[in-house]
Structure 1
Amino acid sequence: MREVAFIKQNKEKWLNFEKAIFNQRFKNPDELATLYIHIVNDLSYAQTYYPKSKVIAYLNQLAARAFQKIYKTRRQETNRFLYFFRTEIPMVVYQYRRYFAYAFILFFAFVAIGAVSAAYDDTFVRLILGDHYVNMTLENIENGDPVAVYKSGSNWGSFVGITINNIYVGIRAFVYGIFGGLGTGWILLHNGIMLGAFQYMFQAEGVLWESVRGIWIHGAMEIFAIVVTGAAGLILGAGILFPATYSRSVSFKMAFKDGVKILISTFPFFVCAGFLEGFVTRYSGAMPNSLSVAIILVTLGIITFYYIFYPYIVNKKMTLHTYDSTL
């Protein structure tokens, strides 16, 4: 069957299904699940015979939206809080996984720009970080404690202040997506270049390892979570710029709702990062290298698993469950 004929044959069904999903015009989850199977079958057919067609992206979005409706209605979890983090967030992340890829690619490109700029321009680090911070860090390095800045203040004061600041940065990264994603790009640019220049400064002073084993105890979760909020901001921007078959206002509302969910999901990680910075990082100098590395790997592993691997596991599990329940 030619692609034009395939679209013409199924277009009305897809549009009616889309309206039913958005307006929740279905009698029960099983009815929706049956319709979902038809969409998945059409998606599979399109992927097989029209691999470069734009209809694949449309059907994939439609299937993902239906998927969320099915399992939200079926109340898979009796505890709404657990359901939100165990099922709902992974499904949303899976649906928008390409925006997470965009956010990470952008961020690490900016980190590289920061590092390279610092390597070729002696004044760049001071331009980005400020003379006061650079002078203080250089003094700490001379005193044999490169990460002494993290030992200032009380444990609880640092924990609360840092957590609030990180959440504030995350909220800005998301909200600024309203400017077509450009505002979010600016937040990623600013933080990425700062991180690249910051780490190169330690490299230039010959204390890169000492900085890594201290800073990344809390930085693994903190930086990762900021990039995740950046992905939420890009989703918001895309909802405004690329409404697809929805009206722009409807597309914006859906993108905003899903983006807020992703933003909220980062809060526990920001709290954990703040706790580590306030109570653990300050003692990194006295830790054996193995313990520092273990903390870094565990924290990075947890947040990486949750946002990168776990959504695929949940999607596979839920898809199989949907097929089983409709047989």
Structure 2
Amino acid sequence: MKVDIIAFSTKGCQKSLDIAGCFPEDEVNLFAKTTADSVGIEKVECSMREWTERSFAECDAIVFVGAVGIAVREIAPFIRNKTVDPAVISVDELGRFCIPILSGHIGGANGIAVRVAGHIGAVPVVTTATDINGKIAIDAWAVNNDLSIVNLHAAKDVAARILSGDPVGFVSDVPVKGDVPPELSADEASTGVYVGNGDARPFETTLRLVPRDCVLGIGCRRDTPEEDIEGMVSRALAEAGISMRNVRAAASIDLKKDEAGLLAFASKHSLPITFYTADELNAVPGEFSKSGFVQSVTAVDCVCERSAVKASRGGRIILRKYAGDGVTVAIAREDFSVDFTRYRK
């Protein structure tokens, strides 16, 4: 996760250093927009509008250390919708209150706020209705379980019925761990949740949640355009009988870590992409396609297949090397289940 933290006073900068300690495994960048002492934190020379626009486009979470009004004014021009907006949290400069103000569920702002508050000793101020009423937030549960939300409007209907106490059903084609919460346990309901890869609609109003259980392994010639990668991936997905909704991540060899087209493709689809060394890929066990030419260039016999398996969680190849337009694509699919013990995180 990439996190930007920005403060507006010396006390705020000091608090930023405390907050950064909450993200030991994440990419954290500290900034200061102040003429006062920034305690060594990089000062922002451009306008706040420019800084926020860049951060909004690049980060998974933004923490404003200062008045909540500053955060609201700065992010307002860049808000699009809850499926793509980053988590935005506001913390006062003394660290007394920690407030998630955007993307509380899908973006994870509520969970991040609770995490930060626990780290610095603040009070988390969470205001979303499902959370304060102790009910499942179906969109947050979906994100925590690597599920794509197909129809956001239905998610709103489900949430409204949960809050009003109306019956909501639940059907899953994948294994379920933990007890299904009472809010989703209605035997008969006109509104409900379906988890699976099919097009089933077991309820009059069905919230479809698709497992993100596939990983793309991608190889390409140098300077391959994004549109060529996009086209080959689309054809590969169609060949495998799945869609981009099923894709959780992508991977390739480290020789491609600066490949503009590949990076642009991953960014367009909000896919984390991992690059592995030749040694790491060659160490992946299994039977893979072989290419003498690829071996001579990369020291790996099949970049796409090995990358897909390496980046997956014990996945198996469901589509072997699929090639064209200077691009190779392979797809690995993971074993998948959903877990209701995750829903209050």
TM-score range, shorter chain: under 0.3
Normalized per residue, which structure has more strand?
A: 2
The structure with higher relative contact order (CA 8 Å, sep 6+) is 1
TM-score of the superposed pair, with normalisation by structure 1: 0.23
TM-score (norm 2): 0.22
Specify which structure has the higher proportion of helix. Answer: 1
